């Protein structure tokens, strides 16, 4: 089994790459990095892909089942734990891309995977009695920071290295086609090359999309409003929810703070899509009296008080932790049948 040239480029960039179909599940290709990450030799995937269920951590089995039963073309990345033969558990972030034929029919999925064990392995020690709440908070901060750094690094490498490689390959192909035409090469040879260029174009667009999703470049150019508007368009396109963003940020906001605002915004949108049954979401981001303010309001069913009281909603907890980390505050209110309102306030450090 071989991979296609554009997939080999992704492998060169260190990503685990697979090609598979769903319903029924069939694995057409897995790269050596996938074998390493999941601890399953390639031949077992090809022989019986359900071998994955033995290797995945029992607590993550339901997540895997759910992901494989879901034919959606766009899914958020999924982090799964895999038990390696050494006894070690590897945490792997899985991304999925849908591939269509010329008539727009879904033909297969490309899986991209990378190791995030370094960023999350701290979670495994939480049962140690000496790890108190303060230590856990410091740990969670560190994990978040590492994930953000990791995302930034992978996004840059994907965009810069792989993007340039693909662009270079495209130029070479184009030059070759010109030369072949001069040499009066048969049309079908030229057509094959044209189609290869088409695939490279898809590769370039895909790399750009994955890189932007991992870490919007606008965040590092101190343009929080632009990053949010881009995210809003992305979520709107896949969910149908009408999302407006009004931005009045006229001072430079340091990347650490705009990253917190952006990630809170992302979680608020995810929640609105998943739980609110709203038709629209209105967002305002502004700087007033030395503070960054982010309002996210939906017109849905309203977050139930029980969700706000419960201490174990990971999403809400995550937003709050992020806010606290930069000295900010998060307030969420829900009114039954009249929507949910979120306000994030972060004091800006004056230079």
Ligand X SMILES: Nc1ncnc2c1ncn2[C@@H]1O[C@H](COP(=O)(O)OP(=O)(O)O)[C@@H](O)[C@H]1O
Identity of the residue, 52 or 268, whose beta carbon is nearer to Mg ion in the bound complex: 268
- Tell the residue number behind the tokens 């009408």, with chain if given: 242
Tell me which DSSP letter residue 337 carries.
T
Identity of the residue, 3 or 271, whose beta carbon is nearer to Mg ion in the bound complex: 271
Angle between the 5-12 and 163-182 helix axes, to the nearest 10 degrees? 150
Q: Shortest Cβ distance from residue 93 to ligand X (Å)?
A: 17
What binding mask, one character per residue, do residues 260-289 give for ligand X by CB under 6 A, x or -?
-----------xx-xxx-------------
Site size for ligand X, by CB under 6 A? 15
Binding partner selected for residue 316 from ligand X, Mg ion, none, CB under the kind-specific 5 to 8 Å limit: ligand X
Q: What are phi and psi of 165, to 5 degrees?
A: -60, -45
Binding partner selected for residue 146 from ligand X, Mg ion, none, CB under the kind-specific 5 to 8 Å limit: none
Long-range CB contacts (within 8 A, 24+) of 173-180 = 173/197, 173/200
What binding mask, one character per residue, do residues 316-335 give for ligand X by CB under 6 A, x or -?
x-------------------
Binding partner selected for residue 307 from ligand X, Mg ion, none, CB under the kind-specific 5 to 8 Å limit: ligand X
Q: Does 140 bind ligand X (CB under 6 A)?
A: no
Question: What residue is closest to ligand X based on CB?
Answer: 315
Query: Residue 29: which residues within 8 A CB-CB, separation 6 or more?
Result: 1, 2, 3, 7, 17, 18, 19, 20
**Closest Cα partner for 232 from 294, 291, 293?**
294
Q: Does 63 bind ligand X (CB under 6 A)?
A: no
Q: What distance in Å separates the CA atoms of residue 258 and residue 56, rounded to the nearest whole number? A: 36
Identity of the residue, 231 or 298, whose beta carbon is nearer to ligand X in the bound complex: 298
Q: What distance in Å separates the CA atoms of residue 94 and residue 113, rounded to the nearest whole number? A: 5
- Interface pick for Mg ion out of 18, 90, 271, 276 (rule CB under 5 A): 271
- Tell the residue number behind the tokens 């050494």, with chain if given: 86
Convert 69-108 to b/e letters by CB count within 10 Å (16 or more is b).
eeeeeebeebebbbbeeeeebbbbbbbbbeeeeeeeeeeb
Q: What distance in Å separates the CA atoms of residue 235 and residue 296, rounded to the nearest whole number? A: 14
Q: Does 313 bind ligand X (CB under 6 A)?
A: yes
Which span (90-98, 157-165, 176-184, 294-302) binds ligand X, by CB under 6 A? 294-302
Q: Does 78 bind ligand X (CB under 6 A)?
A: no
Binding partner selected for residue 212 from Mg ion, ligand X, none, CB under the kind-specific 5 to 8 Å limit: none
Q: Does 340 bind ligand X (CB under 6 A)?
A: yes
Q: Residue numbers of the site for ligand X (CB under 6 A)?
A: 271-272, 274-276, 298, 300-301, 303, 307, 313-316, 340
Q: Residue numbers of the site for Mg ion (CB under 5 A)?
A: 271, 315
């Amino acid at each position: 089994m071989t991979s296609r040239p554009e997939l080999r480029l992704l492998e060169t960039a260190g990503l685990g790459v697979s090609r598979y179909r769903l319903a029924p599940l069939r694995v057409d290709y897995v790269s050596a990095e996938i074998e390493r990450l999941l601890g399953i030799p390639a031949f077992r995937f090809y022989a019986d892909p359900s071998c994955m269920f033995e290797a995945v951590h029992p607590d993550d089995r339901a997540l895997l089942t759910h992901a494989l039963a879901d034919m959606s073309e766009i899914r958020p990345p999924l982090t799964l734990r895999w038990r390696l033969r050494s006894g070690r558990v590897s945490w792997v972030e899985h991304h999925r891309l849908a591939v269509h034929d010329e008539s727009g029919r879904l033909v297969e999925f490309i899986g991209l995977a990378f190791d995030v064990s370094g960023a999350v392995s701290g979670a495994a020690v939480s049962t140690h009695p000496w790890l108190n709440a303060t230590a856990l908070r410091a740990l969670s901060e560190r994990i978040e920071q590492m994930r953000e750094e990791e995302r930034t690094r992978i996004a840059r490498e994907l965009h810069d290295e792989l993007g340039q490689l693909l662009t270079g390959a495209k130029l070479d192909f184009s030059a070759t086609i010109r030369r072949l035409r001069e040499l009066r090469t048969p049309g079908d040879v030229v057509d094959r090359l044209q189609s290869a260029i088409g695939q490279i174009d898809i590769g370039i667009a895909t790399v750009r999309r994955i890189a932007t999703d991992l870490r919007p470049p606008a965040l590092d150019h101190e343009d929080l409003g632009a990053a949010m508007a881009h995210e809003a368009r992305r979520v709107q396109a896949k969910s149908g929810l009408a999302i407006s963003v009004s931005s009045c940020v006229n001072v430079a906001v340091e990347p650490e703070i705009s990253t917190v605002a952006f990630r809170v915004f992302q979680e608020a949108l995810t929640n609105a899509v998943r739980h609110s049954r709203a038709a629209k979401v209105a967002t305002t981001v502004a700087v007033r009296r030395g503070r960054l303010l982010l309002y996210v309001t939906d017109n849905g069913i309203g977050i139930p008080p029980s969700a706000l009281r419960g201490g174990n909603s990971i999403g809400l907890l995550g937003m709050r932790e992020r806010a606290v980390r930069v000295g900010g505050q998060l307030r969420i209110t829900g009114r039954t049948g009249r929507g949910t309102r979120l306000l994030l306030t972060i004091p800006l450090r004056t230079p």
